[in-house]
Amino acid sequence: MSGYNYESFGQCEISAPDFWSVAKVGSPAPKFSLPDLDGNLVSLESFAGKKHVVLEFGSIT
């Protein structure tokens, strides 16, 4: 995980994947199963066939 959680913005590596070449429009979205703030796991698959998902990514800073 070194490099991913850089300590200051100046250490941000240019090793990020090319945004437009992953998870392309028309392709299956990468699966995830992540905990919410109460510790409950939420997976993309749990919405399959039921709901469209708007997935926003963000941090505080």
Partner 1 sequence: MGEVPPLTQVFRQYRQRDFQFLIVYTREAHPGENYPHHESVEQKLSCARKLRELDHVDEIPILVDDVGGASHTAYGQLPNMVYLIDRDGRVNYKSDWTDAQEIDGVCASLIRLDEMKAKNVPIIRQGISQRLH
Question: Could you give the string, one character per residue 25-44, with x where binding to partner 1 holds by CB under 8 A and - elsewhere?
Answer: xxxxxx-x-xxxx----x-x
The CA distances from residue 36 to 41, 43, 45, 49, in Å, are: 6, 10, 15, 21
Residue 14 within binding range of partner 1, rule CB under 8 A: no
DSSP state letter for 41: E
Q: Which amino acid is at 19?
A: F
Q: Which amino acid is at 57?
A: F
Q: How far is the CB of 3 from partner 1 (least distance, A)?
A: 10
Interacting residues toward partner 1 by CB under 8 A: 1, 4-9, 16-20, 22-30, 32, 34-37, 42, 44-45, 47-61
